[in-house]
Structure 1
């Protein structure tokens, strides 16, 4: 399921990049579109890695790191959307704490005993 979530997000970064461009923190060097492409490619690569038993642990740990790295974009989105109608502002605000269970999910998937039948 985590691979599906990442794969979908990765595809969306390329299919509909403008919303992702808009939440790239301005403090990052370069063009927002470049960061959108880099993060989309990373999500696609990690999704593939999660599907492969040999690379699952490393990909899951890297997924946790990526989710932490993109957290500032969720914070920026929450700030930028604070004046939008309530449902949209609420969705943007909810993304900030929602990152925590996603990181924990990835860390759980990175555990050595995942998929081994132990534990």
Structure 2
């Protein structure tokens, strides 16, 4: 039985199959981007499928176990082995109240 795999801010959730979407065969895939270049990467010796659903969700379909590693020189997450199967990639995001759009753009801040 496969269970979800957490790797820093990335989680791989086992699913029965991927939905229809754009498919590409690769041997390496960034599953978690980092602005500093310390990406979370799924890496395999054999090609596997990456599927991007219509909603933009990333799925990976692994024919064989693959490595999940953190491209960082220090304080990196340990390398994990991801079992074969189909996985939905979930990325943890932070909510930033300052980045939200003001629903009433005519409203001005009060300045005393």
TM-score bin, normalised by smaller chain: under 0.3
Q: Which has the higher strand share?
A: 2
Structure number with larger C-alpha Rg: 2
Q: Which has the higher helix share?
A: 1
Q: Given the two structures, how large is their TM-score scaled by the length of structure 2?
A: 0.23
Q: Given the two structures, how large is their TM-score scaled by the length of structure 1?
A: 0.22
